[in-house]
Amino acid sequence: MTAKRLITIATRSILRNKMRTLLTMLGIIIGVGAVIVMVAIGQGARAQIQQRVQSLGTNLIVITPGASRAGGVSQGAGSFNRLTTDDADAIRRESLLLTGVSPVIIAPANVVGGVGNWRTPVEGVSVDYQTIRNWPVASGRFFDDDDQRSNRKVAVIGKTVADNLFPGTDPTGQSIRVRDVPFQIIGVLTAKGQTAEGNDQDDVILAPYTTVQTRLAGHQFLPQIIGSTANPSDIPAAQQEVAGILRQAHHLADYDADDFTVRNQSDLANAAQGTTVVMTVLLASIASISLLVGGIGIMNIMLVSVTERTREIGIRMAVGARGGDVLAQFLVEAIVLCLAGGVIGVVVGFAGAVIVHRTTGWGTAVAPDMVGVAIGFAALVGIFFGYYPARKAAALDPIEALRYE
């Protein structure tokens, strides 16, 4: 019997009782749909995290203080800070792979201006910061080398600060007071949104690091130095280069451990995405239980079908059908049933992903290969749970089957 003939017979048998067929497929529909929705949520979360990590900057390298040790026990990252602006200058001067270097000095402060006051971090950075973070201004301009050399009290503010202090207006040219130090706003940054950790990147004020260090911070050590490379492939070599420059600047011997840490955005992305991978696998595994339940339901219905069609099986065998033909017929019926449920489940999954996105605002992404995996898995469920009823039908004795009432 040809495959086309088998599929035709299986389809006719399935359509004889449409309601029972629909209820039988329900478990597969729910299972496939649930798997697609859960994986779509996980993939969407990963995509959002990747996008937010990329928003941190282009080919970003982050240098932070190292860890001190007390009694042989590490006191944690950042507990031993020897990073200074001289280190940033040394990296900028000696590095062959970094296209931009900026010290970062953070000074949280109450800011007064516009319609009220707002507490936000003021970050002292260099001119290269804008290129490193790939952060253009929406209005006005970024400060330049002349502003930086002259310690001018100019600032570029984030969108969140602008919305809270100067709602509905362009604050460029206005003045604000940061710890009683007047700053002139020369630009407003474009919106970047939240980081992977949920921090608002737009809630910030940027000013020349020379001004922040002398007017606001009052200390010489840096919590962070950032840099960027021209190409992602240069990042590993640039990390080694930066480490060598800093070890020489800090006069570290070969046996001394680094008193700094050099990371790149890939490390940040991998750390942030590790939890989403686990979440995706867990959600998909839970949803797959529905497929198992649906497969058991199909096996039960196929067993009932074998009992109901015992005389039909006997007649087929009496006119020449072999056991293999009967086995193939019932097995194809189970596979067609599961595939039909799988296709409907894919449609339900797509619809569910859209509904989740619109109602919760969560990012969802349905990978094309996941659709193929879901339908293929549905077919495997049909083969696995349909084989026993099909084998039972093929093993019937023709004479006993014809006598069955």
Domain membership of residue 118 (yes or no) is yes
Are both 219 and 280 inside the same structural domain? Answer: no
* pLDDT the model gives residue 197: 62
Claim to verify: residue 229 and residue 303 sit in the same structural domain: no
- Region 367-392: mean pLDDT is 76
Query: For residue 207, what are the β-bridge partners?
Result: 124
Task: Tell me, yes or no, whether 40 and 159 share the same domain.
Answer: no
Residues 125 and 214 in one domain: yes
Residue 63 belongs to some domain of the structure: no
User: What pTM value is reported for the model?
Assistant: 0.59
Give the domain extent around 185: 83-258
Whether residue 77 contacts residue 91, with contact meaning beta carbons closer than 8 Å, is answered with: no
- Tell which wins on pLDDT, 258 or 23: 258
Please count the structural domains in the chain.
2
**209 and 300 share one domain:** no
> Has residue 57 been placed in a domain?
no
The candidate with the shortest Cα–Cα distance to 222, out of 107, 123, 68, 81, is 81
pLDDT band at 293 (very low <50, low <70, confident <90, very high): confident
Tokens of 22: 């629909």
In a domain, 306, yes or no: yes
Q: DSSP of 197-235, one letter per residue?
A: TS-BTTS-EEEEHHHHIIIII---B-SEEEEEESSGGGH
Same domain as 275, residue 210: no
Residue 96 domain flag: yes
Same domain, 144 and 279: no
Whether residue 281 sits in one domain with residue 152 = no
Q: Looking at the domain assignment, is residue 383 inside a domain?
A: yes
- Mapped onto helix, strand or coil, the DSSP state of residue 196 is coil
- Closest by CA to 1, choosing from 329, 310, 337, 319, is 329
pLDDT digits (tens, 9 = 90+) for 316-374: 777 666 777 777 777 777 788 888 888 888 888 888 888 888 887 777 777 777 777 77
- Do 239 and 122 share a structural domain? yes
pLDDT-wise least confident of 128-137, 184-193, 267-276, 283-292: 267-276
Separation between Cα atoms, residue 355 and residue 382, nearest integer Å: 29
d(C-alpha 128, C-alpha 206), whole Å: 12
Joined tokens for residue 373? 């995996």
Cα(84)–Cα(82) distance, integer angstroms = 6
Find the range with the poorest average confidence among 32-46, 50-64, 196-210, 248-262: 50-64
pLDDT interval class at 266 (50, 70, 90)? low
Is residue 61 in some structural domain?
no
367 and 237 in a common domain: no
Q: Quick one: 323 and 381 in the same domain?
A: yes
130/227 same-domain check: yes
Out of 13-22, 71-80, 224-233, 247-256, least confident range: 71-80
Domain boundary, last residue among 206, 231, 258: 258
CA 373, 374, 376, 377 torsion: positive or negative? positive
On whether residue 73 sits in a domain, the answer given is no
